[in-house]
């Protein structure tokens, strides 16, 4: 039996033919001495992505494992890659971003015994949150403010991932639940002062849809609820709890609201979101005044306050958002509450597709 690789790089692809060139070029710079395996997962692409990946695998000088699966979202693709990974550490990389291959050699110069997570510097001015280089213990956790650092700039010890049964939500366009819940399980992590990851801000991405026209955009609401359903069961400190509640308000409300200059469909959508947020905030006992976190213009705030008052009289909107998810993914989707304890059952429950669904893409 051959030696296990030092690192498994897991990359989900979905119609990435026009965006994945820089990353594939960087991956091609890796050498056998890096002790890296590449796990490239095509998540139901309908363009030339599968052919591009097959050609890349044919010429790569490091081991490549290809997997082609039906479209289940980035979480499903990452879970499929995770199940195949044999490396000591696992790095989840987005196909339209880029990495610095030299990070592998840099990591090997450090003592990584017992490390659950390696946190790297990365280029994303919107979300970058510095962590002091060095080893950090369980007492510090990856709590505020460093909990905000995106998971793509981290390597996870495979043992840590599997010991805690960590999975990504499937049939979902966001990883919010993963990013918020996983840090609470970390016992020891090392911050390395090296830019290893380059984030590309794609204005066409579902997550950056300014008009909310793609129904998958609203997966963000469900993702925030998955995380909060878990936090409710934990005995968290006041500071951590407040930070998580603020994150919930933003992800379940403000990041989803889009207003037009005059009343129209987006105003109705905003009312639906507000009503859904009201119900979920009550369920999770979130008592923060959401307008304390609103950072938009004063005029917009006045309109939103009026809509907020109206939303209280609306009926529950759970069925509406369930229908959105069914239209987005071509099947009925429901996510159960995460129930895992450290070392226990999967942290991120898989959504249950309804076999009777007849929804179409």
Position with higher pLDDT, 343 vs 39: 39
User: What whole-number distance in Å separates Cα of residue 139 and Cα of residue 208?
Assistant: 35
Joined tokens for residue 260: 């037009």
- The pLDDT assigned to 57 comes to 96
Cβ neighbours of 210 (radius 10 Å): 8
Dihedral angle sign, alpha carbons of residues 157, 202, 181, 135: positive
- The pLDDT assigned to 239 comes to 75
- The pLDDT assigned to 219 comes to 85
Joined tokens for residue 188: 């020891």
- The pLDDT assigned to 68 comes to 95
Using CA atoms, how far residue 12 sits from 68, 91, 93, 136, 202, in Å, is 10, 12, 8, 30, 16
User: 99: helix, coil or strand?
Assistant: strand
- C-beta of residue 228 within 8 angstroms of C-beta of residue 246: no
pLDDT digits (tens, 9 = 90+) for 13-29: 999 999 999 999 999 99
Joined tokens for residue 272: 């639906």
Average pLDDT over residues 222-250: 80
End-to-end Cα separation, the chain, in angstroms: 44
**pTM for the whole thing?**
0.84
pLDDT digits (tens, 9 = 90+) for 79-88: 999 999 999 9
Question: What is the maximum alpha-carbon separation in the chain?
Answer: 66
- The answer on pLDDT for 166 being more than 90 is no
- The pLDDT assigned to 206 comes to 52
Joined tokens for residue 316: 């529950």
- The pLDDT assigned to 211 comes to 59
User: What whole-number distance in Å separates Cα of residue 317 and Cα of residue 253?
Assistant: 14
| Summary mean pLDDT of the chain | 83
Position with higher pLDDT, 310 vs 339: 310
Place 155 in a pLDDT band, splitting at 50, 70 and 90. Answer: very high
């Amino acid at each position: 039996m051959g030696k296990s690789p030092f690192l498994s790089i897991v990359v989900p692809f979905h119609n990435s033919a026009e965006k994945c060139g820089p990353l594939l070029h960087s991956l091609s710079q890796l050498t056998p001495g890096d002790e890296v395996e590449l796990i490239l997962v095509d998540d139901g692409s309908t363009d030339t992505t599968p052919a591009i990946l097959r050609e890349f695998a044919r010429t790569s000088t490091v081991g490549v494992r290809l997997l082609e699966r039906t479209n289940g979202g980035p979480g499903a693709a990452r879970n499929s890659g995770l199940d195949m990974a044999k490396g000591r550490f696992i790095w989840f990389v987005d196909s339209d971003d880029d990495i610095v291959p030299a990070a592998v050699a840099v990591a090997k110069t450090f003592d990584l015994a017992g490390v659950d997570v390696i946190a790297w510097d990365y280029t994303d001015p919107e979300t970058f949150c510095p962590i002091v280089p060095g080893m950090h213990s369980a007492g510090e956790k990856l709590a505020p403010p460093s909990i905000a650092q995106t998971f793509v700039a981290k390597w996870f010890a495979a043992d840590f991932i599997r010991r805690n049964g960590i999975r990504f939500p499937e049939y979902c366009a966001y990883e919010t639940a993963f990013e918020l819940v996983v840090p609470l399980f970390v016992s020891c992590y090392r911050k390395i002062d090296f830019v290893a990851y380059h984030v590309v801000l794609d204005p066409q991405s579902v997550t950056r849809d300014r008009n909310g026209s793609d129904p998958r955009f609203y997966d963000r609401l469900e993702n925030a609820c998955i995380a909060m359903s878990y936090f409710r069961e934990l005995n968290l400190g006041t500071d951590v709890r407040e930070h998580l509640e603020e994150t919930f308000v933003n992800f379940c409300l403000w990041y989803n609201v889009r207003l037009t200059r005059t009343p129209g469909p987006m105003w109705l959508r905003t009312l639906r979101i507000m009503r859904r947020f009201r119900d979920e905030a009550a369920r999770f006992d979130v008592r923060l005044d959401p307008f304390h976190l609103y950072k938009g213009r004063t005029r917009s705030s006045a309109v939103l306050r009026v809509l907020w008052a109206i939303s209280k009289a609306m009926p529950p909107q759970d069925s509406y958002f369930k229908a959105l998810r069914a239209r987005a993914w071509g099947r009925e989707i429901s996510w159960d509450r995460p129930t895992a304890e450290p070392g226990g059952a999967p942290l991120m429950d898989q959504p249950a597709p309804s076999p009777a669904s007849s929804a179409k893409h």
